[in-house]
Structure 1
Amino acid sequence: MQYRIPIVARGKVIEDCEVTCEGRYGASFLCPDPNKYLPEILLPTRRALEPLYQISLDDVVDYLIELGTRLRIDTNPHLQWALELASVFNDVPSHLVRGAMAAFPTRFLTREHLEAMIATVGREHLDGWKSYERSTGRISHIHAFGVPTAHVIAGNGPSVAMMTFVRNALIRGYAIVKIPSNELGTAVALARTAIDMAPDHPLTRAFTVAYWRGGDVDFESKLYHPRNVERIVAWGGFASVRHIAKYVRPGIDLVTFDPKISRSILGADTFSSEHTMREAAIRLADDVGNGNQNGCTNCRVSYAISDGSPASLETLRRFGQMVFDEIQRLPPEVSSEALHMDAGFQSKIAALAMLDDDFHVIGGDKRGGVILSLTGDQVDFADELRYRTLNIVPVKDYDAMLRFITRDVQTVGVYPENVRDELRTTLALHGVQRITSLGYMREYGADIDPHDGNEALRKMCTWVVAEDCMTNYAPALWRKPAAAPGGRTRPAP
Structure 2
Amino acid sequence: MSGTTLDGTAAGSVAVAHMIRGEVDHGSHTTHGRPGAAFTTPALDLDRLVWSRTEPGPAFHVPVAEIVDLLVETGEALKTDRAGLLAEALDRVVRVSPLPAEILERAYAALWRSFQRAGLYAQIDHELGGADVLDGWREVALPDDRTAATRAFPPRLVHIIAGNAPGVAAMSVVRGALTKGVNLLKLPSNDLFTASAILRTMAEVAPGHPVVRSFSAVYWRGGDETVESVLFRPQFFDKLVAWGGEATIRGALKYVGPGFELVSFDPKTSISLIGREAFESPETLARAADAGAADATFFNQQACVASRFQFVEGSWDDADRYAAQLCER
Q: Please confirm whether the aligned pair reaches a TM-score higher than 0.5, indicating the same fold.
A: yes
- For the aligned residue pairs, the C-alpha RMSD in angstroms reads 1.9
Amino acid of the structure 2 residue aligned with 1:133? A
| Aligned mates of 1:234, 1:162 — CA distance in 2 | 15
Structure 1 match to 2:327: 324
Superposed displacement of residue 255, structure 1 = 0.8
Structure 2 match to 1:28: 38
Written as runs of structure 1 = structure 2, the 5 A alignment for 1:327-366 is none
Counterpart of 1:219 (choices 220, 223, 227) is 227
| Aligned mates of 2:193, 2:214 — CA distance in 1 | 18
| Aligned mates of 1:264, 1:211 — CA distance in 2 | 36
Q: 1:304 and 1:43, CA in 2 relative to 1: closer, same or farther beyond 3 A? A: same
Written as runs of structure 1 = structure 2, the 5 A alignment for 1:235-250 is 235-250=243-258
Counterpart of 2:125 (choices 115, 119, 124) is 119
Amino acid of the structure 2 residue aligned with 1:321? A
Counterpart of 2:105 (choices 95, 98, 109) is 98
Counterpart of 1:262 (choices 270, 273, 277) is 270
Written as runs of structure 1 = structure 2, the 5 A alignment for 1:119-158 is 119-120=125-126, 121-158=129-166
Superposed displacement of residue 317, structure 1 = 3.0
Secondary structure of residue in 2 paired with 1:116? helix
Structure 2 match to 1:19: 30
Amino acid of the structure 1 residue aligned with 2:43? D
Written as runs of structure 1 = structure 2, the 5 A alignment for 1:45-64 is 45-49=53-57, 51-64=58-71
Aligned length: 316
CA contact 2:163–2:190 (8 Å) conserved in 1:
yes
Superposed displacement of residue 17, structure 1 = 4.1
Structure 1 match to 2:9: none
Structure 2 match to 1:305: 313
Q: Tell whether 2:83 aligns with 1:76.
A: yes
**For each residue in 1:361-417, what CA deviation from the matched residue of structure 2 results, as whole angstroms up to 9, or x when unmatched?**
xxxxxxxxxxxxxxxxxxxxxxxxxxxxxxxxxxxxxxxxxxxxxxxxxxxxxxxxx
| Aligned mates of 1:116, 1:90 — CA distance in 2 | 31
Structure 2 match to 1:377: none
| Aligned mates of 2:324, 2:294 — CA distance in 1 | 15
Superposed displacement of residue 113, structure 1 = 1.4
Superposed displacement of residue 153, structure 1 = 0.4
| Aligned mates of 1:31, 1:157 — CA distance in 2 | 21
**For each residue in 1:413-445, what CA deviation from the matched residue of structure 2 results, as whole angstroms up to 9, or x when unmatched?**
xxxxxxxxxxxxxxxxxxxxxxxxxxxxxxxxx
Unmatched runs of 5 consecutive residues or more in structure 2? 1-11
Q: Tell whether 2:206 aligns with 1:198.
A: yes
Q: 1:262 and 1:138, CA in 2 relative to 1: closer, same or farther beyond 3 A? A: same
| Aligned mates of 1:192, 1:267 — CA distance in 2 | 46
Amino acid of the structure 1 residue aligned with 2:72? I
**For each residue in 1:133-185, what CA deviation from the matched residue of structure 2 results, as whole angstroms up to 9, or x when unmatched?**
32244431111022110000010121111111110111101110001001000
CA contact 1:15–1:31 (8 Å) conserved in 2:
no
Amino acid of the structure 2 residue aligned with 1:266? I
| Aligned mates of 1:102, 1:307 — CA distance in 2 | 42
Secondary structure of residue in 2 paired with 1:141? strand
Amino acid of the structure 1 residue aligned with 2:121? E
Structure 1 match to 2:242: 234
| Aligned mates of 1:53, 1:266 — CA distance in 2 | 47
CA contact 1:188–1:209 (8 Å) conserved in 2:
yes
State percent identity of aligned pairs: 35
Moved more, 74-83 or 168-177: 74-83
Superposed displacement of residue 307, structure 1 = 4.4
Amino acid of the structure 2 residue aligned with 1:10? R
Unmatched runs of 5 consecutive residues or more in structure 1? 327-493
| Aligned mates of 2:321, 2:27 — CA distance in 1 | 58
| Aligned mates of 2:19, 2:54 — CA distance in 1 | 19
Q: 1:318 and 1:142, CA in 2 relative to 1: closer, same or farther beyond 3 A? A: same
Superposed displacement of residue 124, structure 1 = 1.5
